Amino acid sequence: MRLNIFDTVDELLSRLAEYFIDNANSAIAAKDRFSVALSGGSSPEKLYSLLASPAFNNRTDWNKIYFFLGDERYVPATDPANNCRMISKVLFEPLHINAAQIFPVDTSLPPETAAQKYMEAINLHFNGTEPRFDLVLLGLGDNSHTASLFPFTTILHESSPDVKAVFLPEQQVYRISFTAPLINKAHKVAFLVYGETKALAVQNIVAGEIDTEKFPGQLIQPESGNLEWFLDQSAASLI
């Protein structure tokens, strides 16, 4: 695990965009494609806008990048809370990404079926080989959840690389999410975290007592890949 701590959010986002482009170009050079799982939420939205900006939009071959979602809210594709809808508006549409390169979760299906079909799409993409993403981008919630691995939920006990539906009783909603073992198969995993409201969660995961039920982010330990944290000073203030 490596901690990358920056003075400002702008500096953090710029460096993570560089990291994204560098990894995309390396994967494309090695195997002619880059398979990435993206995160939803407000923090990565700024990253995606930056990647689509003139500073970065001509620095990789976007036609060879395949986009998945590490998790999705179980809402219609047209709902403003839908992760893929947000990413489409700020990244896919500005870059004119071909629909064949984008893998949304079909939330018109029942939750368990949507999760099963998404894993089938992942397996088809990797064509019978072990599903190992080149990069998985993650955020972090104030409660130490990442993707849709929420505290004290059944998905935390999944031992196989898979996609599962998870019900959140407090919110009375479903989410569709990669399991921790699927994330941990990735070649690279990167957390994007900024703001003082995330400082305690960062401390709990990076330096706290091991309790994966309470702090699910602790489950992210790539088997043979690299784990990087991209933090601003505020988020890193307690470590």
How does pLDDT run across 6-19, given as a tens digit for each residue? 999 999 999 999 99
At residue 227, does pLDDT exceed 90?
Answer: yes
- Cβ contact 156:219 at 8 Å: yes
Q: Mean pLDDT across the stretch 195-214? A: 96
At residue 43, does pLDDT exceed 90?
Answer: no
Rounded Cα gap, residues 230 and 219, in angstroms = 18
Q: Which of 186, 200, 199 is nearest to 228 (CA)?
A: 186
- Sheet of strand 71-73: strand arrangement: 71-73, 173-178, 163-168
Choose the weakest-confidence range: 5-9, 22-26, 103-107, 224-228. 224-228
Go through the chain and tell me how many residues it has.
239
Domain ranges of the chain: 2-232
Return the CA Rg of the chain: 17
Rounded Cα gap, residues 77 and 191, in angstroms = 25
How confident is the model at residue 48, as a pLDDT?
Answer: 98
C-alpha 144: how far from chain center: 14
How confident is the model at residue 170, as a pLDDT?
Answer: 84
Q: Mean pLDDT across the stretch 67-80? A: 96
Q: What is the pTM of this model?
A: 0.96
How confident is the model at residue 42, as a pLDDT?
Answer: 82
CATH of region 2-232, choose from 3.40.50.300, 3.30.420.40, 3.40.50.1360, 3.20.20.220: 3.40.50.1360
